[in-house]
Structure 1
Amino acid sequence: MQNRKDEGDREMTATVYYDNDIDENVLRNKKIAVFGYGSQGHSQAQNLRDSGFQVAIGARPGKSWDKAVRDGFDVKSVKEAAEEADVMIMLLPDEKQPAVYYKEVEAGLKPGNAIAFAHGFNIHFKQIVPPDFVDVFMVAPKGPGHFCRREYLNGGGVPAFYAVQQDATGNAEKIALAWAKGLGAARAGVLKTTFKEETETDLFGEQAVLMGGMTHLIEAAFDTLVEAGYQPENAYFETCHEMKMLTDLIYENGLTGMRYSCSDTSKFGDFTVGPYIVDKGVKERMKKVLENIQSGKFARDWLLENKVGRPMFNALQEKENNSELERVGRELRKLMPFVKQGKKDSEDITANVAQ
């Protein structure tokens, strides 16, 4: 366990655990059930199994069930898996978890069981309220499932957050840390947080930067160049394609490291024009976004959207998937076969866009 000082920098406030800090034996003889076999489900199940734990999959008949069987898992209905498990994790989409929990999981819970999550949404916003006789914890890897699996196989790991919401057995924190170690996350570092903090910061990061902020900044820049008469292909490379190289540099060495690899001309534009684009008004709107998350407004809007059949979501997704930026990008990527390497879901992505 470390509260270390970064070289030449500030002392870290987060508590960070690594492999040597964690005794995984508390989880060694437990029966584990993973509900859902999508991106996170397949990654967590396979990493835990390869770490020597007993893992079964709870799923419904269909593609996920068949894939889990092909991958060599014991696959059961969610209800059966819940009844047999000691420790289980909900890795279904957020909006589907409550119905599955109350219909197929809750009745099978026994004193001493533990139920886990990879995102705090349903616990924090009280869409799922487990009984007081079970442990409730979270292990949230900070990366997509396929990336977590790849790093594990390469001998590394993806950092993760962990939190304990309910400690009925007195061992909830030890079990959560053992789970994180089984995923390979403790090779990189496991940070202690709370369900509230993880949920609110995760939603904010997605909306303000990683998804909402980034995608719409790219689209606005692309449209500005095209509307000014520049070739769409040129605009795509300048505003979208090169983003990957820069984010890789940021991932490796931070903003300073990224800027080190760029020209002084680009840095001067960064320092002087960046604050003009992302001005005080942007920060004020970000504060409003955060307020909507903290108050539960975003959660209520998303839950309502699902209840009425997702009319807004489906319309917006159709619009975004078929924008000029996306159409141009799909054609250009056909000319760059190297881009497709490692993209295991390319066929699924194409099929989803076509629907």
Structure 2
Amino acid sequence: MAVNIYTDKDADMSFLEGKTVGMIGYGSQGHAHALNLHDSGIKVMVGLYEGSASRQVARDAGLAVGSVAEVAKEAEIMMVAIPDHVQKDVYRDEIEPNLGPGKALMFAHGFTIHYQFVVPPPTVDVLMIAPKAPGHRMREHFVEQGIGVPCLLAVHQDATGNAKNIGLAYASGIGCARAGVLETTFKDETESDLFGEQSVLCGGVTALINLAFETLVERGYPPEIAYFECLHELKMIVDLIQQGGFNYMRYSVSDTAEYGDLTRGTRVVDDHVRENMNRVLDDIQSGAFAKEWMAECDEGRHNFLRLRQEARTSRIHEVGRGLREMMPWMNPREIE
């Protein structure tokens, strides 16, 4: 089923005029939203906890800053741009007591609303604007090229009758309507986003790379060669796919590579992988993953931190660290 796509011509900025937009958080997404809105002439106030290093950064950018509670009280529209696992407590303690009727509560990802970790009262609008790019890229495009990145719009609750109009005006203010605003639902955005992260973008691709690397090394090939073939060259392939899809990638590589792709790819990623992907999606749809993740955070994140440390000290990481030092033009970034 085709989705509705909106642009600047569909946005009426009067729905933001004379209103204060509260930006809860000033990280990757929060800073880009706040600064783009500010540059678009919208009054913005940033909500941060006392002692946050971002307070002075936001002030230096010309933005008003207050506590989350102060911003929730002052703003007619709020964008919650803090990590999923802290939203429940911040909402309960600081936003909900100051969430008067007729206000709009916005999210950059649907996780806490869809899984009901946050349940706003029926008297407020609840909607989502989710740019499909990291915040720094969104800001760069807006400032340097005057263009935007596509975003998703979803309305979960329309108390005022204007939730969609507010969302379109907001999308225009941050520059996303210059590229295109795709209409969706909190359910579809949340579940597809989690599935994409787990099956391909983060979980699937890192597991595939690591397994291919280990296979070559275990069969006697030098780790450095395995790193280049299984990890380093991936960016070139992904760039080609992003630019023109699978067809353009296959057109750009050698016939030998294309034949290997068409005849061997489904041997590696076969029906067993499809079954595993369906089980991953089942956990997402049922809420099992969301409950597991929130419980992990509530209980100290011990398993998460252990797995993170194991991944950061893996063999492919250690090999890659040395090779990346040979390529300073890539601006290597190492996380300890």
TM-score class, shorter-chain normalisation, is: over 0.9
For residues 77 and 85 of structure 2, the distance between their equivalents in structure 1, rounded to whole angstroms, comes to 22
Is 1:81 paired with 2:71? yes
Is 1:336 paired with 2:327? yes
Deviation at 1:313, TM superposition (A): 0.4
Partner of 1:42: 31
For residues 39 and 207 of structure 1, the distance between their equivalents in structure 2, rounded to whole angstroms, comes to 21
Judge conservation of contact 2:10–2:168 (CA < 8 Å) in 1: no
Paired amino acid for 2:214: D
What is the 5 A alignment of 1:26-105?
26-60=15-49, 61-105=51-95
Partner of 1:3: none
For residues 186 and 258 of structure 1, the distance between their equivalents in structure 2, rounded to whole angstroms, comes to 29
Deviation at 1:328, TM superposition (A): 1.6
SS of 1:236's partner is helix
Is 1:157 paired with 2:158? no
TM-score (norm 1): 0.92
Partner of 1:148: 138
Partner of 1:264: 255
Structure 1 stretches lacking a partner, 5+ long: 1-11
For residues 151 and 259 of structure 1, the distance between their equivalents in structure 2, rounded to whole angstroms, comes to 29
SS of 2:46's partner is strand
Deviation at 1:250, TM superposition (A): 1.3
Structure 2 stretches lacking a partner, 5+ long: none
Partner of 1:318: 309
Q: 1:232 aligns with which of 217, 223, 237?
A: 223
Partner of 1:6: none
For residues 251 and 100 of structure 1, the distance between their equivalents in structure 2, rounded to whole angstroms, comes to 37
Q: 1:193 aligns with which of 184, 194, 200?
A: 184
Q: 2:203 aligns with which of 209, 212, 218?
A: 212
Q: 1:171 aligns with which of 162, 186, 189?
A: 162
Paired amino acid for 1:59: L
Paired amino acid for 1:133: T
Is 1:124 paired with 2:106? no
Identity of aligned residues (%): 51
Size of the aligned set, in residue pairs, is 334
- Computed over aligned residues only, the root mean square deviation of the Cα atoms, in angstroms, reads 1.2
For residues 57 and 159 of structure 1, the distance between their equivalents in structure 2, rounded to whole angstroms, comes to 24
**What do the CA deviations read for 1:183-202 (whole angstroms, capped 9, x no partner)?**
21111111100111111110
Deviation at 1:67, TM superposition (A): 2.1
**What do the CA deviations read for 1:131-187 (whole angstroms, capped 9, x no partner)?**
111110000111111121122222222111110011111110000111111121111
Partner of 1:5: none
Paired amino acid for 2:108: A
Partner of 1:303: 294
Deviation at 1:107, TM superposition (A): 0.8
Deviation at 1:72, TM superposition (A): 2.3
**What do the CA deviations read for 1:288-329 (whole angstroms, capped 9, x no partner)?**
111110000000100110111011100000011111111121
Partner of 1:25: 14
For residues 230 and 29 of structure 1, the distance between their equivalents in structure 2, rounded to whole angstroms, comes to 65
Partner of 1:4: none
For residues 38 and 327 of structure 1, the distance between their equivalents in structure 2, rounded to whole angstroms, comes to 29
